[in-house]
Amino acid sequence: MIPHEYIEELTRRTDIVELVGSYVQLKRKGRLYGGLCPFHSEKTPSFYVYPDTQSFYCFGCGAGGDAVTFTKKINSIDYVEAVKLLAQRAGMPEPTEDDKTGRLRSRILTMNKDAARFFHACLNSTVEEARQARAYWRRRGLDDKTINRFGLGYAPDDGQALYQHLRDKGYNQQELDASGLFKRSQSGRIYCLFWRRVMTPIFDLRGNIIAFGGRVLDDSKPKYINSPETMVYHKSRTLFALNIAKKSKNRRYILCEGYMDVISMHEAGFDTAVCACGTALTPEQAKLLSEYADEVVLSYDSDEAGQKATERSLGILGSTTLKVSVLSYQGAKDPDEFIKKYGPEAFARLLDWAVASEEEQLVLVVHGGTQMAVMEAFAIPSRPYFSWGLPCGQGYVLEAEGWLEHRQLRLLGKRDYTKGG
C-alpha cells in the first residue's frame, strides 16, 4: 500500500480545478465549476468540480471522487498508476509501495527497461543477424532518429541470451516469471518469448516500458508475437505511441492498424498516429483516445481484414464524443506503403479530404465493401447494401448531427476526390 501521508501530500499539491480543467472546459458557477461530463455523452452540463472539498461529481452518470479517482478514471489506469501520474505532474518523487505486489511491479518495469536496452544493443552489434535486423528497419524507411525515439531493437537467435543477461543483473526467478518475457519448454528449459525478431517496446502514458511487440525478418509464421498480459500491461487499456502523441498540439489523431504503420507515420511527420494494442479496438481504448483527441481518422489496411476492423471501430467510436472519419486510398495496401510511394504531402491531402470541413458533417471515403456496409447500416434514407456502390475515388458526404442520439447519418451528396473536390 502507498502510505497515507504520501496521498495527503499529493492531494495538497494538486489543484483539482486545474487538473480537471486540462481535460474538461469548465465554467465558474459561484463557488463551483461546471462542464460537460467526460465520462458519458451529454449536451447539458451535469458535471461539477468542488474546490472546497477538492472533489468532483456528475449528476448524470454518478461518477465522483477526488483527484486520484479522476485521474484513474479519465486515463483508464489503476489506482497506483494514477497516483504515480499525479506525482509526476506535481513534481513529487514516485511513491514507495510497501507491499510485495508494489515491489514486484516496480521490478518488472525496471526489467522491461533493461530488456529494451539489451534489444537495442543487440540491434547495434556487429554480428550478421544484427546487420540483417538493421537492414530490415532501413527497408521500412526508418532513420536513426526514429529508431532511437521508439527504442527499436532486435531479439537475437539465442533464445537464452536475454534470460542470462537479466539473471546476471540480479533479477530472481519470480520476477522473471512475472515479466511475460519468458516461456518454459516441456523439459523445463526457459527461453525468451522473442527470438530472431525486430523489437518494438510499448510504453504507458508515463513513459514506462510495459510490453513488447516482435516481428520476424521474413514472412514466416507467426509473423507477430506480442507480450502477454502482466501486472503492468493491460492491452485492452493501452494505445501504442499515445505517450508521444499526447505531447502534440494537434487534436486530430490517426488510428492505425499496427505498430509499423504508426512508426512510419511519425517518421513522415504525423505525430498523432496511434494504434490499439491487441487484436481490435476496445471501448476502454476508445475512451482513452477521446481524452486526448477531438477527432480521429481511421487509417486501416485496405484488405478485407482492414475493412472489418474499420466497421467494428466505427461502432465502438460511435459511443464517444469524437468526430470520426475514415481514410481511403488507392494504389497501396496500407498507409505505410502509400506514404513511401506517394509521399507525406499526398497522405496529408487524404487526411484533409477524409475530414469534413464543416462542423456537424463527416466525409466517409471508404474502401468498397466498408462503404456499402456503413451506408446500409447508418445512412438516411435507408437503401440496400449493393445500391451504395461507387466508382473508385468517389465518396459520400453525410451530416452527423443525429449520430449520438440516433446512430444515423443523413445523406447530403457525393464527392469526387480524384478531382480534388
Q: What is the pTM of this model?
A: 0.69
Q: What is the pLDDT of residue 187?
A: 87
Distance CA 268, CA 171 (A): 39
State the cell numbers at 55. 472533489
| pLDDT, tens digit, 9 for 90 and up, residues 201-231 | 999 988 899 999 999 998 888 999 999 999 9
Residue 278 zone, left/alpha/beta (φ > 0; ψ -120 to 50; rest): left
Report whether pLDDT(42) > 60. Answer: yes
Judge residue 200's burial from the number of C-beta atoms within 10 Å of its C-beta, 0-12 exposed, 13-18 middle, 19 or more buried: buried
Q: What is the pLDDT of residue 363?
A: 52
| pLDDT, tens digit, 9 for 90 and up, residues 252-267 | 999 999 899 999 999 9
Residue 257 zone, left/alpha/beta (φ > 0; ψ -120 to 50; rest): alpha
Q: What is the pLDDT of residue 243?
A: 92
Q: Which of 193, 124, 121, 120 is nearest to 160 (CA)?
A: 193
> CB within 8 A of 22, min separation 6: which ones?
none
State the cell numbers at 301. 489496411
Q: Which of 374, 379, 373 is nearest to 406 (CA)?
A: 379
Domain regions of the chain by residue span:
4-90, 100-233, 238-419
Q: Buried (b) or exposed (e) across 367-381, using 16+ Cβ within 10 A? A: beebbbbbbeebbee
- The CATH class, in words, for 100-233 is alpha beta
Per-residue pLDDT, averaged over 237-242, amounts to: 94
Computed from CA positions of residues 248, 249, 250, 251, in that sequence, does the dihedral angle turn out positive or negative?
positive
Assigned fold of 4-90:
DNA Primase; Chain A (3.90.580)
Q: Which of 417, 322, 338 is nearest to 371 (CA)?
A: 417
Assigned fold of 238-419:
Dna Topoisomerase Vi A Subunit; Chain: A, domain 2 (3.40.1360)
Distance CA 115, CA 181 (A): 9
Distance of CA 107 to the CA centre of its chain: 24
| pLDDT, tens digit, 9 for 90 and up, residues 56-104 | 999 999 999 999 999 999 988 888 889 999 999 888 988 766 567 778 8
C-alpha separations of 407 from 43, 315, 320, 376, 400 in Å: 16, 9, 12, 12, 9
Distance CA 271, CA 248 (A): 7
Report whether pLDDT(361) > 50. Answer: no
179/338: higher pLDDT: 179
| pLDDT, tens digit, 9 for 90 and up, residues 383-406 | 898 888 888 777 777 777 666 667
Per-residue pLDDT, averaged over 310-317, amounts to: 89
- The residue ranges of DSSP E strands in 227-382, in sequence order, are 239-240, 252-256, 273-276, 295-299, 323-326, 361-364, 379-380
Contact assessment for residue 293 and residue 321, using Cβ atoms and an 8 Å cutoff = no
Per-residue pLDDT, averaged over 131-138, amounts to: 96
Angle between helices 100-123 and 128-139 (to 10 degrees): 90
